[in-house]
Amino acid sequence: MLSARTVFQEILDNDESYRLFCSIAASGEAQGGWENARIAALVPEGSRDLAPRIVRHGADEDQHGRIFRALLKRRGLPPVEIPPETDYTMLLEQQGVGLAHSRLRGEERLTERDIITYLAHSRVTEQRASDQMRLLRRYFADHPDIGRAVKLISHDEDDHLAYCHEELLALARAGHGRTIQRTMRECALAEIRVHRDVSLAVMAAMGRMLGWSRPKAAVLAAGVHALYAYERLVGWRRMVSLEMPPRRDALGGPAVPEREYA
């Protein structure tokens, strides 16, 4: 029976597909770590109290990148250069989602509007990350190779999402509600297109590695298109809602070194 669990299991069991999976994940997490570090360094004076939480966010993302590289090392596999069409972070930037890397490489202070853009972008992408890690946790929390890593990263992604909700709600109370909603909607609609394109590219690459039949590949591609259609029609609304999370100040404090995965 074809299911998300059986597809993931097939990918995990094959060295080449596992290598690509971990390499894509490590690359995206490392990029997120760099972005957050630069944003923390450039926050405007009026947002300096936010900087420690942005630093914590970036430290978590860096740690996740190290975790995926450690998973590769455990199986004796080197990382692989990821195909450009599977580079979620790069493709989002090309769509104008988030803050441009050219801006982050400079030394000019960000504006309050930039901080809203950063948090709105993070609200949308962290929802995706949280959902994906919860799916993996449901199926592989007890997996001998990736179970511990999946649980740790899933917990962190939930915290990141909570942080985005709380900070955006504070900005909404300060009078930025309409700007936040407009920015999140733009980010969400662009993100679901990029997610569809990346998912199709990843599935195509996995299919070549694993020798999937044309009917099997077609069914999986149809599933990706169906998800996109649902998200384009109504699902995007879930990515732009805001509610106070049960856990407040989820990123209050430095990353804990002993949580490092090895």
For 135-199, the DSSP string reads HHHHHHTT-TTTHHHHHHHHHHHHHHHHHHHHHHHHHIIIIIHHHHHHHHHHHHHHHHHHHHHHH
pLDDT in tens, 115-143: 999 999 999 999 999 999 999 999 999 99
> What phi, psi does 159 have (nearest 5°)?
-65, -40
Greater confidence (192 vs 246) lies with: 192
**Token pair listed for 248:** 């407040």
* % of the chain exceeding 70 in pLDDT: 96
* % of the chain exceeding 90 in pLDDT: 89
Asked if 140 and 146 count as a contact pair (C-beta separation under 8 A), the reply is: yes
Asked if 156 and 60 count as a contact pair (C-beta separation under 8 A), the reply is: yes
Query: Domain extents for the chain?
Result: 4-259
Q: How far apart are CA 121 and CA 45, in angstroms?
A: 21
Q: Is a pLDDT exceeding 60 seen at residue 259? A: no
pLDDT in tens, 184-194: 999 999 999 99
What is the CA angle 14-136-73, rounded to 5?
45
Q: Is a pLDDT exceeding 70 seen at residue 79? A: yes
Q: How far apart are CA 53 and CA 253, in angstroms?
A: 7
How many angstroms from the chain centroid is the CA of residue 196? 14
CATH architecture for the domain at 4-259: Up-down Bundle (1.20)
Q: Is a pLDDT exceeding 90 seen at residue 145? A: no
Q: Is a pLDDT exceeding 70 seen at residue 255? A: no
pLDDT in tens, 9-44: 999 999 999 999 999 999 999 999 999 999 999 999
Q: Is a pLDDT exceeding 50 seen at residue 258? A: no
pTM, two decimals, is: 0.93
**How many CB atoms sit inside 10 A of residue 260's CB?**
12
Greater confidence (259 vs 72) lies with: 72
- Residue 254's pLDDT band, with cuts at 50, 70 and 90, is low
**How many CB atoms sit inside 10 A of residue 215's CB?**
9
Query: How high is the pLDDT of residue 123?
Result: 97
Q: Is a pLDDT exceeding 60 seen at residue 1? A: yes
In terms of Cβ atoms closer than 10 Å to its own Cβ (0-12, 13-18, 19+), residue 214 is exposed
Gyration radius from the chain CA atoms: 18
pLDDT in tens, 83-99: 999 999 999 999 988 99
- Residue 262's pLDDT band, with cuts at 50, 70 and 90, is very low
Q: How far apart are CA 228 and CA 117, in angstroms?
A: 23
